């Protein structure tokens, strides 16, 4: 999962290097308002944690699933009945498939991050 923010000056996405699973965790690390310089136009701007968007790594998940199917199919084809090679191939394919499922779990983290906002602190006036 990557955390991105859209630059207020050039509208391109900047990656936030801090790792966090939720907005409140990100707030603990960098504060509710933070200043970030753009990687593209070098313009520093102030952002709120609620402006941050999480994106998943969908491509890797898809490639992992295809690789698992290809390895399994390839093993059946090349093993020519050799059970040891079929077993080894299925083991590797299974490991890759489980790896891509782990990344599928990361996708649900993306949804959680994007659906939960932190409460904006309002300036309280003491009367
Ligand atoms: Zn920019």
DSSP 13-32: EEEE-S--SSHHHHHHHH-S
Domain span including residue 39: 2-55
- pLDDT in the model for residue 3: 94
Residues 9 and 45 both lie in one domain: yes
CA of 37 to the centre of ligand 1 (A): 8
CA of 36 to the centre of ligand 1 (A): 10
Task: Tell me how crowded residue 38 is: count the other CB atoms within 10 A of its CB.
Answer: 19
Residues 68 and 97 both lie in one domain: yes
Terminus-to-terminus CA distance in the chain, angstroms? Answer: 45
- pLDDT in the model for residue 127: 54
Residues 40 and 12 both lie in one domain: yes
CA distance 75 to 67: 12
CA of 10 to the centre of ligand 1 (A): 4
Q: Which residues of the chain have pLDDT under 70?
A: 58, 121-127
- pLDDT in the model for residue 6: 97
Residues 74 and 102 both lie in one domain: yes
- pLDDT in the model for residue 61: 77
Residues 36 and 74 both lie in one domain: no
Number of domains the chain contains? 2
Considering the entire predicted model, what is its pTM? 0.64
């Amino acid at each position: 999962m990557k955390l991105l923010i859209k630059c207020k000056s050039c509208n391109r996405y900047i990656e936030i290097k801090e790792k966090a699973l939720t907005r409140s965790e990100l707030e603990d690390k960098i504060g509710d308002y933070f200043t970030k310089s753009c990687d593209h136009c070098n313009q520093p701007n102030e952002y709120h944690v609620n402006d941050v968007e999480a994106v998943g790594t969908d491509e890797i998940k898809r490639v992992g699933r295809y690789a698992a199917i290809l390895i399994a199919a390839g093993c059946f084809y090349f093993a020519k009945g050799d059970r040891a090679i079929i077993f080894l191939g299925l083991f590797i394919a299974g490991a890759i498939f489980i790896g891509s499922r782990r990344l599928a779990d990361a996708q649900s983290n993306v949804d959680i991050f994007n659906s939960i906002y932190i409460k904006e602190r309002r300036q309280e006036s003491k009367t």
